Amino acid sequence: MHDLIIDETKYTPYIKLDATNGIIEIKGKSYPENTFEFYKPMMNWVEDFFNSDRKEKTLVNLEIIYFNSSSSKLFFDFFDLLEEAHNKGKEIEINWIYHSDNESALEAGEDFKEDFLELNFNLVEK
């Protein structure tokens, strides 16, 4: 499986999908003009990745500073994919990284954690 890197822009985050080491990283702001289209390559990659027969643990690092409502829905769908993979026996650890001064990002992380109780979901203060 190939790696996929999407560079950061003024309104979309840096995305690194590292199949070799099993690391998924999303970092930055997220308010694309068309969110679902923008994240499509990432979502397809994630689906394929968890359909492969990889056994090692996957690490997911998310550091989203702020985002629009369609990105919020997209992240929900992303965690849904992760939960599906988890239920099929994949080991996944999620780090929701937020700045200590950003209680809005913390609250967003808390809500996702509560919506996906099955997942190993850490809130990590930076």
Q: Which residues bind other proteins (CB under 8 A)?
A: 10-11, 31, 33-36, 65-70, 72-74, 76, 99, 101-106, 111, 115
- By C-alpha distance, which of 40, 115, 114 is closest to 70? 40
- The pair phi, psi for residue 56, each rounded to 5°, is -70, 160
CB nearer to other proteins: give 22 or 119.
119
- Least CB distance to other proteins at residue 99 (A): 5
- Least CB distance to other proteins at residue 22 (A): 28
CB nearer to other proteins: give 21 or 100.
100
Residue-wise over 22-44: b if at least 16 C-beta within 10 A, else e? Answer: bebbbbbbbbbeebeebbeebee
Q: How many CB atoms lie within 10 A of CB 104?
A: 10
- Least CB distance to other proteins at residue 63 (A): 13
CB nearer to other proteins: give 35 or 58.
35
In eight-state DSSP terms, residue 101 is T
- Least CB distance to other proteins at residue 34 (A): 6
- By C-alpha distance, which of 65, 13, 69 is closest to 39? 13
CB nearer to other proteins: give 80 or 91.
80
